[in-house]
Amino acid sequence: MRSGGVVSSVIGRLMPSVCLICGCRGRPGLDCCAGCEADLPAIADQCRQCGLPMPTPTRACGRCSRRPPAFRRTWPAFAYTGPVERLVHRFKFHRDLASGRLLANLTARRLAAVGAHRPQALVPVPLHWRRHLWRGFNQSGMLADDLSRQLGGIPVAAMLNRSRATPAQSALPAASRGANVRGAFRARLPGGRVRHVALVDDVMTTGTTLDACARVLRQAGVEWVDVWVVARA
């Protein structure tokens, strides 16, 4: 065993993992017990395009049929409720980075289980620099980095930047969200052909922000954009 493995083994015995949901003992490399993971609110049936929970599996819900989004498919790991909602709040608004790592680990396990299509790159949804400075980190970027490590090193590519500050989408009615982010993003692709990417974000509500990001990526030459989110509201 390498020295790093020995150190990790010793630390694991002295400081065992604790489940961040119930407080009981976790599992090696995962701060969540098996019972809490099994109880997480997965979405059984959904719209394939936007991930909206549906009574039966649906290729495109009414909204996606009327105005197809620029992304091809949404892969939500969980529904935005219960322990998932609490972990997101702890991560995003209270700088609980351990909760963020756990969400990424659980999301990676869920995406692997449901057979999410493997992209060429993970593209985090960017924050405007002022909000990034105020928060201290970009939650989407941290999730993308952790997902990359958990899923065999899928490259993380900063192909998007936020060219202007916008009010938080959560503070606006659904009808106003499209105008709020219109023209707010710019895309710059790396050299070489980029066929398939996955946008990474924490929570998807109306999907307006993710649609705006996908549209500029498509306009820049990306052929196929998926959405990977921890939770779908």
Q: CA 17, CA 130: separation in Å to the nearest integer? A: 35
Nearest residue to 165 via CA among 184, 151, 182: 184
In the chain the domains, ranked by start, together with CATH numbers, are 1-39 (no CATH), 41-232 (3.40.50)
Inter-residue contact 132 to 138 (CB < 8 Å): yes
* Cβ-Cβ contacts under 8 Å for 210 (sequence gap 6 or more): 69, 71, 74, 125, 199, 201, 204, 227, 229
pLDDT for 7 beyond 60: no
pLDDT for 106 beyond 90: yes
Q: What is the pLDDT of residues 93-105, one digit of tens each?
A: 999 999 999 999 9
* Cβ-Cβ contacts under 8 Å for 2 (sequence gap 6 or more): none
Percent of the chain with pLDDT over 70: 88
**In Å, what is the CA distance from 62 to each residue of 59, 69, 93, 206, 208?**
10, 12, 33, 13, 15
pLDDT for 75 beyond 80: yes
Nearest residue to 128 via CA among 163, 173, 82: 163
pLDDT of residue 13: 56
Confidence of residue 74 (pLDDT cuts 50, 70, 90): very high
Averaged confidence pLDDT in the chain: 91
Q: What is the pLDDT of residues 162-180, one digit of tens each?
A: 987 777 676 557 665 666 6
Q: pTM for this one?
A: 0.89
